[in-house]
């Protein structure tokens, strides 16, 4: 079997002679340029800019995480309030809270589930309104409670 041995300097010299056919010599002149102060300032500016961008990103992520945490706490309070009421505790009601990224914007409280009577629906919404107004007065409530007499009779 025939082995090919590659000579790296010979190949690079051959490629160099193909690219620059005239004036090929075995030596290459190396010039060193002194660094300019402008290049250092540009590099420093880029590093500082990247650090500022990372800082802003971390701060925005922290704000988002705090809003999500606030939404979970509000959702737990509403769920606890519905479970503490003896009439509403046995009903399949679920609350979700969407807290927007910007604080002045209104949060969205959604109440969903099935109840057997319109009176229980009103009682649940009244309870949610009272709890919601105490914690977030500018919030909106979305009512997705369905009055379904037949479904609740079959479940019992």
User: Could you give the domains of the chain?
Assistant: 70-155 (3.30.70)
| Residue 112 pLDDT greater than 90, yes or no | yes
When pLDDT is cut at 50, 70 and 90, the band that residue 60 belongs to is very high
35-38-40 Cα angle (round to 5): 65
Q: Count Cβ neighbours within 10 Å for each residue of 62-98 and write b for 16 or more, e otherwise.
A: eeeeebeebbeebbebbeebbeeeeebeebebebbbb
Token output for 53? 């961008």
Judge whether 141 and 107 are in contact, CB under 8 Å: no
pTM over the 0.85 mark: no
Closest of 127, 59, 65, 144 to residue 99, by C-alpha: 65
When pLDDT is cut at 50, 70 and 90, the band that residue 45 belongs to is very high
Judge whether 107 and 97 are in contact, CB under 8 Å: yes
Q: Residue range 106-120: average pLDDT? A: 90
**Strands 93-98 and 140-147, sheet pairing:** unpaired
pLDDT of residue 151: 59
């Amino acid at each position: 079997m025939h082995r090919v041995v590659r000579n790296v300097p010979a190949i690079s010299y051959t490629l160099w002679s193909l690219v620059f056919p005239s004036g090929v010599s075995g030596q290459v002149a190396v010039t060193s340029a002194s660094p300019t102060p402008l290049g250092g300032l540009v590099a420093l500016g880029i590093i500082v800019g990247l650090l500022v961008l990372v800082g802003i990103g971390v701060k925005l992520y922290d704000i988002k995480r705090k809003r999500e945490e606030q939404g979970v706490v509000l959702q737990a309070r509403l769920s606890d309030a519905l479970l503490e009421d003896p009439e509403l505790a046995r009903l399949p009601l679920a609350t979700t809270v969407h807290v927007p990224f910007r604080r002045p914007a209104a949060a969205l409280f959604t109440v969903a589930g099935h109840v057997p009577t319109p009176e229980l629906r009103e009682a649940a919404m009244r309870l949610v309104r009272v709890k919601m107004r105490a914690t977030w007065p500018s919030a909106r409530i979305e009512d997705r409670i369905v009055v379904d007499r037949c479904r609740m009779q079959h479940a019992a």
